[in-house]
Amino acid sequence: MKLTPQQLVEFERDGYLFFPGMFKPEEIQVLIDEVPQLYAQRRPENVREKGSDAVRTNFAAHLYSYPYAKLARHPRMIEPVSQVFGDELYMHQFKINGKMAFDGDVWQWHQDYGTWKNDDQMPEAKAMNVAIFLDEVNEFNGPLMFIPGSHKVGVIDAAHDTSTTSYPLWTIDQDTITKLVRRGGIVSPKGPAGSMIMFHSCLVHASTSNLSPWNRVSVYLSLCAVSNHIRRFKRPEYIAHRDFTPIRCLPDDCLLRHYEVPLPWKDGTPEEALKPAVV
């Protein structure tokens, strides 16, 4: 999938693009059907909410789940990012965020690149998130909130919040958020399951808790230019990947047809993937 000149202009201006209904219901159903058994596993890749058994994030499913291994090579997600960067891509991070009904906690205001820079020593913000809604996203079930244009500010000073939620994050203070919102406002893309968002790693974003009776599960591919790979391996490999092999796309129908894909962690997480590594 290629972006149009107008879409490239919009992305440069706002830092994100929204594609409602990008994936067909039958494609999304393949992914939805896989989530319960992934969340039920007692693997280290499942990070659960504070004080709850609800899964906050499942990491690295593309290494042990057949449908998600195919999604990780889908041209609708890979090609536009490669077009923007003019470079081959590798998978820096792959996660299925489970903002579950009643239990889904907040994600504080942050830039993803802030974490990747501070924790992983990623040299530049030459990385991108692509998200797919597995559920309908509405105003009640904790949708993503973006501050348009905030990616142009560059890397913002952040504090390491290790206590608010079960997943530590480099978060941005309230005064800075207030100033950014005065300039750019806040938007919150909402739409049916199968919708897709592509957003810059410096775009400031957050989401509120989900007090509604509707799940808001989304898949995130964090794609990094191969030339911009991380230099520090202090986090487990299932969170920050160490394999910089360029992604090769499958055909566009890959979610509905059989294609051979590797599943190297199908029988369990390798011991070395749980530990820091010395470069």
pLDDT exceeds 80 at position 159: no
Q: What is the pTM of this model?
A: 0.92
Task: Identify whether 214 is part of a domain.
Answer: yes
- Who wins on pLDDT, 240 or 158? 240
Domain coverage including residue 190: 5-274
Parallel/antiparallel/unpaired status of strands 127-133 and 107-110: unpaired
Q: Which range, of 11-25, 71-85, 90-104, 244-258, averages the lowest pLDDT?
A: 90-104
Task: Identify whether 266 is part of a domain.
Answer: yes
pLDDT in tens, 230-262: 999 999 999 999 999 999 999 999 999 999 999
pLDDT in tens, 183-201: 999 999 999 999 999 999 9
The total number of structural domains in the chain stands at 1
- Who wins on pLDDT, 167 or 109? 109
In DSSP notation, 41-81 reads S--TTEEEPTTSSSEEEEE-GGGT-HHHHHHTT-HHHHHHH
Task: Identify whether 165 is part of a domain.
Answer: yes
Task: Identify whether 279 is part of a domain.
Answer: no
pLDDT at 279: 58
Q: Residue 46's domain is classified under what CATH number?
A: 2.60.120.620
pLDDT exceeds 70 at position 11: yes
Nearest to 127 by CA among 72, 181, 201: 201
